[in-house]
Amino acid sequence: MPNKRVYISLLIVCFVSVFGFAQTDTDSIPAPADNNPITISNEVVIDSVVNKPLNILAPSKAAFYSAMLPGLGQVYNKKYWKIPIVYAALGTGIYIYLDNDKSYNRYRDVYKRRLAGHTDDEFYGDGATPKVSNEGLIRAQNTFRRNKELSLLITLGLYVLNVIDANVDAHLLQYNLDENLALKPHLQFNEKENSTDLGVTLNFKF
């Protein structure tokens, strides 16, 4: 009997202890109701940013390819939509140059025939005086020569711009964020206004 009473007493003590511990956990003071509750998720977010190895030769390769063949550097950078723009710009410049060169040669040949004493050119006409004088032929030659030189300079500038564009694009394609630069959004509970504030933190390590 004494042993039985001891066992019963121990069971009662253990029951009271467990019940009292549970009562302590459940009888905590409730937090005030929040109209904007913060939901904490246990979902694990995997960082999708991958630091690719830096290819220091990529910009030089892209520039070299575009110098060898306009648009090839854009193909190397996979900027295919730029290829029609490159060839449209260069093609327009070349067309204007050739058109002005043709007109320049046309007036120059007529002027040379005038100096040789011929009056059967297209600018002379049937009258006693030519429709376009020798001075007019000289002015026309100067105008078309100037336009020809200007269009050549513009075309060369577009060619150089094509090379620069490929080089810059190759640089930008390698731009990525590493561990030294982090941009993180966060939620902060404002106790005074009983509301939740959204913020962004930018960390940069030297």
Q: Is residue 7 part of a domain?
A: no
Task: Answer whether residue 75 shows pLDDT above 50.
Answer: yes
Asked which of 17-31, 63-77, 102-116 is least confident by mean pLDDT, the reply is 17-31
80-107 tens-digit pLDDT: 999 999 999 999 999 999 999 999 999 9
Q: Where are the alpha helices (DSSP H) in the chain?
A: 2-26, 58-68, 72-76, 83-115, 134-173
Q: What is the DSSP letter of 40?
A: P
Q: Residue 94 belongs to what domain range?
A: 52-177
Q: Is residue 94 part of a domain?
A: yes
Q: Looking up tokens 């009056």, which residue turns up?
A: 119
Contacts of 157 (CB under 8 A, 6+ apart): none
Q: Is residue 206 part of a domain?
A: no
Quote the CA–CA distance of 58 and 166 in Å, as a whole number: 10
The count of domains in the chain is 1
- pLDDT score at 191: 72
Q: Is residue 30 part of a domain?
A: no
- pLDDT score at 118: 85
Other beta carbons less than 10 A from residue 37's beta carbon = 9
